[in-house]
Amino acid sequence: MLSQRTKVQTSSNQEHGPVGVESPRSPEPSGTLLIVDDEESILSSLRRLMRRDGYRIVTANDGESALALLDQQPVDVIVTDQRMPKMTGTEFLRRVRERFPDTIRIVLSGYTELDSVTSAINDGAVYKFLTKPWEDDQLRSNISEAFHRKKLDDENRRLHAELAAANNQLASLVKEREHELQMGMNALDLSRRILAMLPCPIIGLDGDGMVAFTNDAAEKMMGAPLLGMPARSVFPSELNSALANKTDFDLPLSIAKKDYHLLCSQLDCGHETRGRVLTFLASGSNQAS
């Protein structure tokens, strides 16, 4: 435990905010820790304490040099002193939050300054406030917790990004299928219109022998509405007998004193028969008349 703050004489270039890098002993560090303090003794103590946990440690003596470092490399967790030259720790972390919002930010200071620290915490600029002097195990535990929080946040961002990408892909597929469906509906509507305008009577039967489609010429030929009616109730007995054979056929037929040549074709879907199409072609005598 560090019992007091001891000012260390630094070289002239350190007074302007040098940046130091501590190479961890672990070949695969679990994350990058940035320590910001204007006293070199504090930086040295924290480096010695935290190196055992396998972090990649980088340091800076003030907020400006720390921001320059953040522009050059990613950092996971930041621990900063509150009272530093040029800008306070909370001011520095507010700027970090704006430019590097994914970092986890901690203030470690012997000066409470409750108003500014509380405001920074409420604004979301500070994740946690810790006091000096610190207890080694407690500090290590808090920083470990911060790295765990960072990993969870990163995972949540990754999952949200994947979910957003999946939603975008799904929306694109839905839009494509809606377009295809609309085109199919347009084609079906056009087909119905064409069939309705054909001069020869056409009747469609479903698999149960109900009239599922009819055009204007068929309605005129039969002299009554046909749609939804059972074939046996509206067709002459000769036609119903032919339909009972369940096969394609052509048949000369007289309806309402007019002669037709009837073509019956089955509508097959794979191994299933879904219905039939009846096409009534006028005979030569009708055409002549």
User: What band does 65 get if pLDDT is binned at 50, 70 and 90?
Assistant: very high
Q: 206-250 pLDDT, tens per residue? A: 988 899 989 989 988 888 888 899 988 888 888 888 888 878 888
- Distance separating alpha carbons of residues 233 and 210, to the nearest angstrom: 10
Domains assigned to the chain = 12-160 (3.40.50.2300), 198-288 (3.30.450.20)
Give the pLDDT mean for 117-130. Answer: 76
* Mean pLDDT rounded to a whole number for the chain: 83
- Distance separating alpha carbons of residues 45 and 268, to the nearest angstrom: 84
Please give the backbone phi and psi of residue 57, each rounded to the nearest 5 degrees, phi first.
-110, 130
Residues 6+ apart with CB under 8 A from 85: 38, 62
pLDDT of residue 135: 92
Specify whether the CB–CB gap between 231 and 211 falls below 8 A: yes
pLDDT above 80 for 12:
no
User: What band does 271 get if pLDDT is binned at 50, 70 and 90?
Assistant: low
Asked whether the CA dihedral 41, 46, 49, 50 is positive or negative, the reply is negative
Nearest to 143 by CA among 190, 107, 180: 107
Residue 45 tokens read as: 């103590």
What is the three-class DSSP state of 258?
strand
For the entire predicted model, the pTM comes to 0.57
- Distance separating alpha carbons of residues 46 and 196, to the nearest angstrom: 87
pLDDT of residue 122: 65
Q: 35-55 pLDDT, tens per residue? A: 999 999 999 999 999 998 999
Residue with tokens 């007074």: 15
pLDDT of residue 112: 61
- Distance separating alpha carbons of residues 80 and 72, to the nearest angstrom: 18
pLDDT of residue 273: 66
Please give the backbone phi and psi of residue 87, each rounded to the nearest 5 degrees, phi first.
-155, 150
User: What band does 115 get if pLDDT is binned at 50, 70 and 90?
Assistant: low
pLDDT above 70 for 159:
yes
